[in-house]
Structure formats: C-alpha cells, structure tokens
Chain A
Amino acid sequence: MRLKFYLLIPFLLFFLKIGFTQNLEETNYPTNISSRSFLDRTEFKVSYFGNTFWNNGLVFGTEYLWKEKQKTKNRKRGQRTNTHQFLLNGNLGFTTNFSTKTDTGIFTNYGVTWRRTNKKGKQFSITVNPLGYYRSFLPETYEVKGDQVDKVFLPGRGYYAPSISVGIGKQRKGKKLTGRFFNINFMLRTPYNAGALPAFNFQYGYRFNFKKKKRDAKNN
C-alpha cells in the first residue's frame, strides 16, 4: 500500500506541473557580467548573528557575483521576470553568551549563495558554506595532567563548522545600503565532545557596496 502511494506521488507532481503550466513558456537569458568591474560584482554585508536568548554576535561578509541569468515566465497574468544569481561568499563572525562567557567564539566560512530576486526586489536565498572553521575562546583555564596543573594560554578549541542558511531579503535600489536580509542559519561544530553540535541562529543585516554612484544612477 505504502509503495503504491510512493509511486503515485511523482505522477501527481507531473500532472500538477502540466496543469499549471499549460500555455506557459519559460525563457532563460544568461546575463553578461564579465564586463562589470570587480567592485561592481562585489557586495559587503554586516549582520546580527545569534539566537537572542543565549548567543549574540556580529557577522561581516562579502559576496562576489559569479553567475547571473534572467528567467522570464509567461504567466496567465502576464510576464514575470526573476533574476537568479550564484554568488561566492565569505564571512567572518563573532558570537558570545554575555551571561557566562562560556560560549564565546569567532568563525569564518566560505561557500556559494543562490539568490532569486523578483521584479519588486523581493529576494529568496539559500547559502551553503561547506568550508567553515569555529574557534571557541574560554575564560581562565587550567590543564591537569597527572599531578601537574598549568594555566592554558589562549584557551579554546577549533572546530570544523560548515553551515547552511535559508533566508529572505529585499533589494534597495539606489540606496547606500543595497539590501537587507533575514536568514535562519544552521551551523554544525564537529568534533564537539563525543559527537557534533548543531546550532541554529538568526541573521539580520544589510548589504552595501562601493559601486560608483553615476553608474548606479544610470543603471537604475
């Protein structure tokens, strides 16, 4: 019974797609971004990072536009064009529990962001950062080996810390701050104790760039 149900699902999805996309056409136009300068393709971002109750911190990051294409769909209500971008991104962050200072750390991660922007500037993005490193910083720490007790210099531990973020945002054309975003971030710290430690955090922040104003005005 369960097997039949699983077999039915792909067919249902197929018919659903046929039904909703009758008479609809989709066209993809890769955007030529190679002519844009490095600064034009680069944006910076700063955001709050934490879960408000326990950990709070800041993240600074940068994004570099790698690929972009315009996707136009002919809907019954008219044409809809979305911009799809792939961006290379890197971040450097700091987080702490102000109450006990037992969970303080800095982290850095690198990966790829896929972002869709509609004509109203509303954005949806997924970021995968497979390369990540978290370094915890502990208060006064003493190491015990046998009967020997020594104070540890710069106590803390390093963890491999990949992360995934899913979020929404809004493009702000012609503004100094070119966009704002809200992400939910999932980061794994491993090896942590006898396994790995999952952590969920919110990210709310702004993007900005150093594009030349005149060109911006012309483009917008």
Chain B
Amino acid sequence: MQKIINTNSKLLFLIVILWTVFSCSKNDNLNNLDETIFVRHKDADMPAYIHGNASEKVFLIILHGGPGGTGLTYRANTIKSDIEKECAVVYFDQRGSGMSQGSYSENGISVDIMAEDVLALVKVIKHKYGDDSRFFLMGHSWGGTLGTSALLKDQSDFSGWIEVGGAHNTQGLYFEYIANFKRVASEQIEAGNSIDFWQGVLDLVNNVNQTQYNEDDSSKMNNKGHQAEEKFENDNVINKWKNDSSRTIFKYNILTTLWTGNKTQSILGDQGLWEDLNYTGRLPEITVPSLILWGKHDAIVPPKFAQEAFDNLGSSNKELVIFERSGHSPMFNEGPLFAEKVIQFINENK
C-alpha cells in the first residue's frame, strides 16, 4: 500500500489540488456570477445575462423599457458596482428585443405572452440554481407594464416588486402628457429655462387632440418628453445622465436591436398598448412588498403615476421614493441614492 502511495504521490497530489480548486471555484462563481443563459418559451429564445453575487440565491430581475429596449443597458453605474455586490442581477432581453430570436407570427407577441416569458425565466433560474432561490422584480418604464402583468399572473415566487417610472397605466399617458406638459412648461418659462423650447411644448399640447387618443399626437408628445429631459439636464434641473456601460455598444448589434425592437413596438402598439391598457384597477391584487421609485421630473411617465401606483398597490409593505434630481431614469441621474434604496428594500424583504 505504502509503495502504491509513494509511486502515485504526484498523481494524488494533483488530484487533491484539482479537487480543491474546483470545489472552491463553484462557490467563487456563485459569489460573482457571469453567465448568459437562454430561455426558450413559446417559440422564442431570450437571453438572460446574470451577473453578481448569488451566494444567497437572491436574484433581481430587471425588465427593460421600450418595448424593444435591451437588458444590458442597465448594467451600469451603481447597479453594476453596488447592487451586483448584494445580489445577482438578471438582465433580460425580452421577446422581440435585444438579441432575442425566435420564429412566431405577430400573434405570438403580446403583453400576456411576454409576461409568461418572465415567469418562464423564474422557472429556469430555479431549475438551474435551486428551488430555494428568491426573486425581486424590477420594471423600468415599459418594464413597469410588463412586470405588473407578470405579477398579476403569478406573484408567488417574488419577494418584492420595484417599479421605476413604470407604465402600469399606458392608457392614461396621453392625457397626462397634456396636463403635465402644460404645468411643467409654465413653471419652466416662469423660471426662465429654455423658454423657446417650452413655448413650443405649449403650442404642441394646445394643438393635439384634447378629447380622444391620437397615435401621431401621442408619439409627438413622447418625443417631446425625451427632449424635455435633455433641457432639464442643460438647465441643471436634474443631474446629468450618467451611464458608464460604454462597452454595452459592443454587446448589441445596433441594426438587429433597432429592427427587432421597432417591429415589436409596432405590433404591441397595433394591439392597443398605448390606447387601451390600464392595470390601475388591478393593482390591489399585487400584495408583495413594493418599492416605487420615480424621478420628480419624469417627462416620459409623469410622476402622477407614482402616486397612483402607491395608492393602489395591495401590499401592506410599500414605499414611494421621489428622486428630486431625476427624470425618467433615476438609476442614471441619481445612481448612489437609487442603489441605496434598492439594496435596503432587498435586504428588508429577502
């Protein structure tokens, strides 16, 4: 026996070293996940980019805006530097967005099916990392529509819901654009900020259809909302947009993402996304702990909807945070405060 051990001592030593290295590496990987997996569901293959600390098996799923945005846009600033240290963050390219691919008809894409995709993603993560995984869902802008829809289907797997400038009531956007722009334009003109621009905004909202939804007018006001946030930045009303994820540009083929994203947006628009969809009446059904994060100067989904979400969500544990120096994307305007609120919420409810 001694002879065998002596003869094979080097081999034994190598086996012990390899065993140790690989035993540790699994744990190390969970502490600092860097994985891309695809979810195949209803004829679509959708990438989920998972980064961060999964040692406690806490996953924050981020639903991007758009429709037709990209998941990894959010892997920046304090989400990457702070939140990923606390939990694993799942950046998900939704159906017909980013680098998702598949083969389905126009009927194969809808808010309902996309919400089922989110629940399918949860099942895949549980399958891969264990049934004891815990989930928080964050929806930004259109992601707020999708997240609300997913929770209304099944909220049993989620420990919390974070709505960030979320469009849970897309139907209400049209008339709120008019009211919000009239109020904000008057304030800005009075303050002497970008007067010509805000005068133009007033002209626009005074000339759009005041009584019923109009697609062209809706699109014009949405575009004005994006321009308004640039003016807010220039006039030092909100903090400068900061997104340090410069390498994201190499992760998405721009032509592919624009082409598929626009198509998806067009299909959902034709289905009445902007005209008919309103989950406000069903928000009381959502009872998981909820955190509502909104920029005070959000010109894309005005802050009225923050209060609407807070008032109607059915959770007994809910908090509304207004970011004083932010527009539609507080994670890019006030990153440190954004991360602080998200981490606090996750730690209190995980």
Q: Which residue numbers of A lie inside 8 Å of B, CB to CB? A: 51, 53-55, 97, 99-103, 136, 138-144, 147, 149, 152, 155, 157, 191-195, 197-200
With the chains together, A112 CA to B231 CA distance in Å?
54
With the chains together, A99 CA to B123 CA distance in Å?
26
Q: Is the CB of A192 within 8 A of B101?
A: yes
Residue contacts A-B, CB under 8 angstroms, 19 given:
A53-B253, A55-B253, A97-B251, A99-B250, A100-B49, A102-B36, A139-B38, A139-B47, A140-B38, A142-B128, A144-B120, A149-B124, A149-B127, A152-B40, A157-B103, A193-B44, A193-B101, A193-B104, A197-B260
Q: Mark B77-115, 1 if CB is under 8 A from A, else 0.
A: 000000000000000000110011111111011000000
Q: Is the CB of B124 within 8 A of A136?
A: no
Q: Is the CB of A144 within 8 A of B103?
A: no
Q: Is the CB of A195 within 8 A of B101?
A: no
Known: A103-B99, A193-B264. A97 touches B253 (CB 8 A): yes
With the chains together, A51 CA to B255 CA distance in Å?
11
Q: Is the CB of B101 within 8 A of A54?
A: no
Interface size on B, residues (CB 8 A): 42
Task: Please name the residue on chain A nearest to B104 by beta carbon.
Answer: A194
Task: Please name the residue on chain A nearest to B122 by beta carbon.
Answer: A144
Task: Please name the residue on chain A nearest to B250 by beta carbon.
Answer: A99
With the chains together, A118 CA to B44 CA distance in Å?
49
Task: Please name the residue on chain A nearest to B256 by beta carbon.
Answer: A197
Task: Please name the residue on chain B nearest to A54 by beta carbon.
Answer: B253
Contacts of A102 in B (CB 8 A): 36, 47, 99, 251
Is B17 engaged at the interface, CB distance under 8 Å to the other chain? no
With the chains together, A152 CA to B37 CA distance in Å?
11
With the chains together, A147 CA to B154 CA distance in Å?
13
Contacts of B37 in A (CB 8 A): 139-142
Is B39 engaged at the interface, CB distance under 8 Å to the other chain? yes
Known: A192-B103, A193-B44, A193-B96. A142 touches B38 (CB 8 A): yes
Q: Is the CB of B255 within 8 A of A193?
A: no
Is B334 engaged at the interface, CB distance under 8 Å to the other chain? no
With the chains together, A111 CA to B55 CA distance in Å?
54
Least CB distance from A95 to B in Å reads: 11
Contacts of A144 in B (CB 8 A): 39-41, 120, 123-124
Known: A100-B36, A144-B39, A155-B45. A193 touches B260 (CB 8 A): yes
Contacts of A99 in B (CB 8 A): 247, 250-251
Q: Is the CB of B123 within 8 A of A157?
A: no
Q: Is the CB of A141 within 8 A of B263?
A: no
Q: Is the CB of A157 within 8 A of B101?
A: yes
